[in-house]
Structure 1
Amino acid sequence: MLDEVQAGPYTVRGISVGGVYTSLQVPELEVVLDVGVPVRSFAGTERIFLSHAHPDHASGLGSLLGIRRLLGKGAPQLFLPAEIEAQVHEALAVLGRLHHTSMDVRTVPMRPGDVKPLGHDLHVRAFRTHHSVPSLGYQFLRRVTKLRPEFLDTPPQEIARRRKAGEDLFVAREHLELAYATDTLSKVLETEPGLFDSRVLVIECTFVDPKRPVQDARDRAHLHLDELIAQADRFRNEALVLMHFSQSLAPHDVRALIEERLPPTLRERVRILAPAAGRWFG
């Protein structure tokens, strides 16, 4: 069964266990984030974002494309780190020959700082995450153009005349909506400080047990809950979604430790993407 949380105006649904599988969907943004396992209900989504090519984040891509073919869907957009574009095409070509079927995707190679429009004022900006292989995080944002304050009382006809004359009457503003940062050192919070201001932050938290030293997480290029707690006062997000937990702890233990250890001001905004009871999926 898929896990699902409500984070501000966004629904984050899917499954995520470090080293096993991660695949999430945000239906309000019409995006799938990583494909470590093929989720049937995600197959109709036309935009897929790969953070990196480790199997627990990318190995389900071929199967998801197969499900799309059954549904009569065409090639989806696949946003991915530019460094892995050629290898992904090679891997899909091999799968296509093996299964005698099309594995077509429309790749959108991204580098840190690249911004791509997604339609209806929605954009995505790639940022560097810090992992053992080429990896990216994604910030989804809305760009809204508004009239400058000094022209708010100007009659519409005058606005139209000045605009036609080439005057700069408008200002573009960015609203940081949802950021996705997985498989990364906590260094990402320093290199991408905008994460603290994203309305919703979906971030990995592989290690939550205080008995595991922070250095264990750093040695594996992952995050430890202690590192988030140390910067608790900096998170200005409406909601944070923690995911990608180590399978060394059962879901109820993960939940208990997070709820016990987080300071109250942060705890009330945190959503835990893990089963409410029982074992990890699979």
Structure 2
Amino acid sequence: MLTEVQAGPYTVRGISIGGVYTSLQVPELNVVLDAGVPLRSFATTDHIFLSHGHSDHASALGALLGIRGLVGKHSPAQVFLPAEIESAVQEALAALQRLHRSAIELETIPMRHGDTRKVYRDIWVRAFQTHHAGPSLGYQFFRRITKLKPEHQNLPGEEIGRLRREGVPGIFDELERLEVAYATDTLSKVLETAPSILESRVLILECTYLDEKRTVEETQERLHLHLDEIIARAEQFQNEALVLMHFSQLYSPDHVRDLIRERVPPSLHERIRVFAPASNQWFG
């Protein structure tokens, strides 16, 4: 069974085990985050975001794209990925097509730190640098909304509608409503280099190690995040929900929940969603 948590208005579902495989889906945004395992129910999602090229996050991309045809999706999926790995991903998929003797339809969209792209409708994404081995990115999803400037708020509704249709400048402010941010396989430095993720409505954040089984220093050497680093910054998280994921197999799912409950301050713990299976068994 897939793990599923509710985080504010968003559902986060899928699988994440540190070093083994990670693939998450946020259906309300129509996005899949990483492709470490090919999940059939994810194949209808049109927008796939790769954080980096390591096998536990990217090796199932070809299989996932191949399933799309079997479930009736014949339009190319969009695959957003760090620009530096685009050619390698295309080469790997080309080899897979030769093995399968069938085409894999996709559109790769190379991203760099700070790049902003429209995903669909009113959903946009901005890439931000994460800190791992090799090129890696996190993704922040937001909505662009227009708001009437204060000095025009007394105008009649019909007049506002006319000004909007005519595109009259200086009437509206364009605002960004930060919805979901995704940061995995990264040093805690990302909380300093991309501070706006602390203000996203939902933050999906890796938390590979949880206690003295791995020290903070050992965790940093592995270019991952330790729970101690999150606890030390507890007051900085302004998110409505913080989804912690990518836990090491050093811990059982129940142990993960126990450690987080015991160690995290109540003010933050009440907003944490632990992305670990209720069965107390890791997938696979």
Classify the TM-score, shorter chain: over 0.9
Residue 266 (structure 2) pairs with residue 279 (structure 1): no
Q: 1:209 aligns with which of 211, 230, 233?
A: 211
1:143 corresponding residue in structure 2: 144
**Preserved contact between residue 163 and residue 169 of structure 1 (Cα < 8 Å):** no
The aligned runs of 1:1-282 (5 Å cut-off) are 1-74=1-74, 75-156=76-157, 158-159=159-160, 160=162, 164=166, 166-282=168-284
Corresponding residue pairs, total: 282
Using the alignment, how far apart are the partners of 2:241 and 2:199 within structure 1? 10
Using the alignment, how far apart are the partners of 1:114 and 1:262 within structure 2? 34
Residues 151 and 40 of structure 1, relative CA distance in 2, 3 Å threshold: same
Supply the RMSD in Å over aligned alpha carbons.
1.5
Please state whether the residue corresponding to 1:28 is helix, strand or coil: helix
1:193-247 Cα distance to aligned partner (Å, 9 max, x none):
0011000000000001234210111001100000000000010100000000001
Please state whether the residue corresponding to 1:106 is helix, strand or coil: strand
| Structure 1: gaps of 5 or more residues | none
Residues 164 and 44 of structure 1, relative CA distance in 2, 3 Å threshold: closer
User: After the TM superposition, which of the residue ranges 101-110 and 87-96 deviates more from structure 2?
Assistant: 101-110
Using the alignment, how far apart are the partners of 1:271 and 1:164 within structure 2? 45
Residues 256 and 73 of structure 1, relative CA distance in 2, 3 Å threshold: same
Residues 230 and 100 of structure 1, relative CA distance in 2, 3 Å threshold: same
Residues 265 and 59 of structure 1, relative CA distance in 2, 3 Å threshold: same
Letter in 1 for 2:177: H
Letter in 1 for 2:273: R
| Structure 2: gaps of 5 or more residues | none
Residues 152 and 237 of structure 1, relative CA distance in 2, 3 Å threshold: same
Using the alignment, how far apart are the partners of 1:91 and 1:139 within structure 2? 27
Using the alignment, how far apart are the partners of 1:180 and 1:80 within structure 2? 13
Residues 162 and 245 of structure 1, relative CA distance in 2, 3 Å threshold: closer
**Preserved contact between residue 210 and residue 226 of structure 1 (Cα < 8 Å):** no
User: After the TM superposition, which of the residue ranges 218-227 and 65-74 deviates more from structure 2?
Assistant: 65-74
Letter in 2 for 1:220: R
1:6-33 Cα distance to aligned partner (Å, 9 max, x none):
0000000001001000000000001000
**Preserved contact between residue 50 and residue 79 of structure 2 (Cα < 8 Å):** yes
**Preserved contact between residue 37 and residue 60 of structure 1 (Cα < 8 Å):** yes
1:153-176 Cα distance to aligned partner (Å, 9 max, x none):
123565536985944111001110
Using the alignment, how far apart are the partners of 2:94 and 2:167 within structure 1? 53
**Preserved contact between residue 123 and residue 141 of structure 1 (Cα < 8 Å):** yes
Letter in 1 for 2:275: L
Percent of residue pairs bearing the same amino acid type:
63
**Preserved contact between residue 126 and residue 139 of structure 2 (Cα < 8 Å):** yes
